[in-house]
Amino acid sequence: MKRAFNMAEAKAHLSHLVDRAAEGEEIVIAKHGRPRARLVPLTPAKPRRTPGQGKGRIKLLRGWDAPLPDDVLDAFEGRSR
């Protein structure tokens, strides 16, 4: 549910309005009766990635880093034979 507050009211009760927005309410702040800003809840940040979580889950085949055959390499580099 949206609720509009004038600028003076929003200044006086900013902390309370931020708490209400954090709970999911959309707060509109108006100046001279015209909507000027909106307080909305922030979406939760993605958790930080922890390096090493996939350790032991990936197996690379022997020779995975061997050079490409000449015909495949030529195709990648745009050369024709």
Residue 1 has pLDDT above 70, yes or no: no
| Confidence (pLDDT) at 7 | 92
User: Where are the chain's structural domains?
Assistant: 2-39
pLDDT tens-digit map of 31-74: 998 999 999 998 888 888 889 988 999 888 999 999 989 999 99
Looking at domain 2-39, which of 3.30.70.360, 3.40.50.1110, 3.40.1620.10, 1.10.10.10 is its CATH number? Answer: 3.40.1620.10
pLDDT tens-digit map of 11-22: 999 999 999 999
5: number of Cβ within 10 Å:
17
| Confidence (pLDDT) at 81 | 65
28 exposure class (CB count in 10 Å sphere: 0-12, 13-18, 19+): middle
Are 74 and 81 in contact by the 8 Å Cβ rule? The answer is yes
